[in-house]
Amino acid sequence: MKRQWLAKALVVTASLLFTGYVFINTYEVVFNKDIPFANSVSKFVAQSEIKAVINQFDIKPDAGPQNNAVIGRLQYLQFPALNSNLYLEERRVINGTWYVRPNLAHYIGLDKDNNGVILDFLIYADSSWRTIAQPNQIEIGTDVNLFHDDHEMASYRVAEKQVLPIQSVFIASKTQARQIILIIEDTQHAVYYGFSLVEKD
pLDDT in tens, the chain (201 residues): 566 666 665 655 555 444 543 444 454 444 445 555 445 678 888 888 899 999 988 876 565 557 788 888 999 999 999 999 999 999 998 888 999 988 999 999 998 888 888 999 999 999 999 899 999 999 999 999 999 998 889 999 999 999 999 888 888 888 888 999 999 999 888 899 999 999 997
- What pLDDT score does 29 carry? 45
DSSP state at residue 128: S
- What pLDDT score does 33 carry? 54
- What pLDDT score does 21 carry? 39
- The tens digit of pLDDT for each residue in 20-67 reads 434 444 544 444 455 554 456 788 888 888 999 999 888 765 655 577
- What pLDDT score does 22 carry? 42
Contacts of 90 (CB under 8 A, 6+ apart): 106, 107
Q: Where in the chain is the domain with CATH 2.40.260.10?
A: 41-199
SS3 185: strand
Phi/psi of residue 183, nearest 5 degrees: -115, 120
Q: Which of 36, 39, 55 is nearest to 126 (CA)?
A: 39
* CATH code, residues 41-199: 2.40.260.10
Contacts of 56 (CB under 8 A, 6+ apart): 171, 172
